[in-house]
Structure 1
Amino acid sequence: MRGTRGRGVAVTGIGLVTPAGIGVEENWRRILSGVSTAATDPELKGERVDISCRVPGFDPTTELGRRTAWKLDRFAQLAVVGARQAVADAGLDSGSWDGTRIGVVIGNSLGGAATFEKQLRTYFDGAPEDVSALMIPMGMVNMVAGYVAMDQRIQGPSLVTATACASGASAVGTARQWLLSGLCDVVLAGGTEAAISPGTLNGLSRMGALSTRTEDPAGASRPFAHDRDGFVAGEGAAILVLERTEDAVARGARRYADIAGFSASSDAHHATAPHPQGAGLARALREALDEAGVLPDEVEHVNAHGTSTPMNDLTESRALYSVLGSGAAVTSTKGVTGHTLAAAGAVEAAYTALALHHGAVPPTANTTGLDPAIDVDIDVVTGAARQRRIQVAASTSLGFGGHNAALVLTAA
């Protein structure tokens, strides 16, 4: 290994509100089980694709109080709850910290899609006077960072990254840069998305992005499998508390893992299709490894983007093999959670940190063997979790527009 790990950024708190559950423990149990969360969705009744992965048992009024819940679209509700979890998990108190030294950066792509859909339906149904005055602040993508900042008394920089399904990873990488530059002492970083609405899913369905295995929702998301046919849309939020590693050590904080490297790239290839050989993702991963001072053969685990779409899984496999060879244990946790879109990179960064912390590699749900069309030798974990101590792991993300992001994490 080249360089030093000590110049990293520590993950000291995690908040998870995902289809796998609410809270870290519930999420980790479900991810290790390899049991899918996908189900028929009553709110999508009559749609061509009527399955999704929802957050189970999430009651915004109970979590946030009636007044706060009423003002926020679901994508912001999930993030605010996740941020509260993460701050508490890190052993920090937003009531006593210096808010001017705290930042927040959250990935989001579709904003309040469900709010816009509902309010515009009201407008076009001929009742403009019934359109909510909160439509714009509920729907704007930037507002999630604003609401988290208000809730946690954060007065440092706040930002939303919008790189489609790489948004959450972009947020974590941006936060790392803020910390190492000295701009902040603590950053709440992550991603959120709650865009499971008839209009949005119809658009994804028309693109051919969604699985049509509606008769078998639990088996629909099957990354890297020969009969995969698209992803299952999910919702969720993941927020990580990040601090400079030396600061975390100095205050005696529990560290799940260190974020040792980050890089991003653009394919400049196609609006929705990844580069056929995964060239942009491979470049981002190499650069992230270089920043971390890690050699490719030292990477023991990858939490892949692994969407369960024919194109992504093929090209991502090629990218991973071109950089890492066949030595890393590869997982896609989307077999359990579905594709949480802009939240995915942050959700999966959290799962990667937990894999390092607990010494376990989750399985890829619903996948029993690789698609023969995947023409490289990668080690996809299937069937059951693998118990193994991990020192170095990576998490990769791709997004429409040709966005790529790679994070390298090391054991604390």
Structure 2
Amino acid sequence: MAERRVAVTGAGVISPIGNTLEDFHRSLCDARPGIRRLPSEIAQGSGVQVGAMVDWQPTTVLKETEAANLDRATQFALGAVAQALGASGLEPRASPERIGVYWGTGLGGANTLETAYKQVYGAGEWRTRPLTVVMAMSNAAGANVAVRHGLRGPFANFATACSSSAMALGEAMRTIQAGRADAIVAGGSEALLTPATLLAWQALRTLAAADPGDAAASCKPFDKRRGGLVLGEGAAAFVLEDESRARSRGAPILALLTGYGNSCDAVHMSRPDGDGQARAMREALAESHLAPGDIGYINAHGTATAVGDVVEAEAIQAVFGDAAADVPVSSTKSLHAHLLGAAGALEFAAALLPLMRGWLPPTAYLEQPDPQCRLRHVRLRAERVTPPRAVMSNSFAFGGSNVVLVAERAAPL
């Protein structure tokens, strides 16, 4: 029996640089940044200066009474999923038991938890909202997606830090290939720009200070001047579907998800390991039956940390060999910042830009490339290209979790 191939038939985005896939892609092409100085009520005493917030009005997709009982991360998820399902034309009611939800998040309902802690420990009021648990739990976003759309197939929630939503996509692909589902709504959401969460990240000493000349330029992956990562928020969702089923109903096919690599460094909780990253890239290529030279773009994890960027560049060189000098690489975190648990999904959406529209998204503000990061950078502005055969998206996380996705251009209907 031939292996089932997995098509991407719909996508939705809620991000600091656009709240639809089209707007997100347009911002990448224009190198339009979403990083700003954080409002004082968000930063408070954390010492964090910059972040990337979503311009969000929940009433565009939810009733006020609904939004009041949903964490911000769940609101983002529902907004992105509504777009993805609408774009795909998938009708869940036809076979709800064959359509699942696989979701990723780092901290789940961070805003809900912070509100509860402030009430209890700050105000000394030993009572919280009755819905605090179900708003804050890690699987709240995915569960609300399933409930809202009546999706009764396989369900999974992944919380592996920065690789969470990429893992959700990869595992969803495997589930469809195995015949356990015909379609899965997969992606991730994150909303953790709260004072206490920012303070915790500041204590790690991995966050960038505001660029003195331009706060928007604070995240500089692969640049000699880089000073650390910048935190963001948002969501991205995709409808993944058995290709033959998608074609039979005339669905739009944005790309094919053909490769998924998953490895663990098992070395250190926060220091990345190039061997683990390379193993994940090789596994994704092998599953896609592709050679390094078949990849026409890599969306790098590229967080702009001193160590992380060098390790990833060396891992890419190790896997791609001579082809590393030619394959275009960029980190779009320079524009939308690091969405942690939602990063993999959002950056998979960025990696689809060359396949769908023939543009390579840039690493903005990469004016002084670090010689230790010897890659074929897409610097400063987007580049027009013939849509490549395939693209790769890297997601590497604290705890040593490495996930790599490979997508290919779909043949016309």
Superposed pair shares fold, TM > 0.5: yes
Alignment counterpart, residue 60 of structure 2, candidates 59, 62, 69: 62
Aligned-pair identity in percent equals: 37
SS for the counterpart of 1:409 is strand
Q: Give the 3 Å change call, closer, same or farther, for CA 199–126 of structure 1 in structure 2.
A: closer
> CA shift at 1:93, angstroms?
2.9
Alignment counterpart, residue 314 of structure 2, candidates 300, 307, 318: 318
* Structure 1 residue runs without a partner (length 5+): none
Q: What is residue 265 of structure 2 aligned with on the other side?
A: 267
1:147-204 Cα offsets, whole Å, 9 max, x none, are 0001111011211111110111100001001100111111000011000011111111
Q: Which amino acid aligns with 2:224?
A: H
TM-score by length of 1: 0.95
CA distance in 2, matches of 1:289, 1:259: 12
Alignment counterpart, residue 384 of structure 2, candidates 360, 378, 387: 387
> CA shift at 1:131, angstroms?
1.5
CA distance in 1, matches of 2:372, 2:216: 24
SS for the counterpart of 1:232 is coil
Instruction: Map residues 218-257 of structure 1 onto 2, 5 A cutoff.
Output: 218-257=216-255
CA distance in 2, matches of 1:45, 1:63: 30
1:275-314 Cα offsets, whole Å, 9 max, x none, are 1xx1101001101100100011111110111111111111
TM-score by length of 2: 0.94
Q: Which amino acid aligns with 1:54?
A: M
CA distance in 2, matches of 1:61, 1:409: 34
Q: What is residue 115 of structure 1 aligned with on the other side?
A: 112
CA distance in 1, matches of 2:203, 2:123: 28
1:347-403 Cα offsets, whole Å, 9 max, x none, are 1111212321111111111112311233xx310101221111211110011000000
Instruction: Map residues 1-400 of structure 1 onto 2, 5 A cutoff.
Output: 7-42=4-39, 43-56=42-55, 58-94=56-92, 96-125=93-122, 127-213=124-210, 215=212, 216-275=214-273, 278-324=274-320, 325-374=324-373, 377-388=374-385, 389-400=387-398
1:40/1:214 contact within 8 Å kept: no
CA distance in 2, matches of 1:77, 1:150: 13
Q: Which amino acid aligns with 2:118?
A: R
1:34/1:384 contact within 8 Å kept: yes
CA distance in 2, matches of 1:354, 1:36: 17
CA distance in 1, matches of 2:6, 2:381: 31
SS for the counterpart of 1:22 is coil
Aligned-residue CA RMSD in angstroms? 1.4
CA distance in 2, matches of 1:71, 1:214: 37
Q: Which amino acid aligns with 2:267?
A: H
CA distance in 2, matches of 1:310, 1:321: 18
1:63-107 Cα offsets, whole Å, 9 max, x none, are 21112101110011100111111000101233x331111000111
1:256/1:354 contact within 8 Å kept: no
SS for the counterpart of 1:382 is coil
Q: Which amino acid aligns with 2:405?
A: L
Q: Select between 169-178 and 157-166 the one with higher mean Cα deviation.
A: 157-166
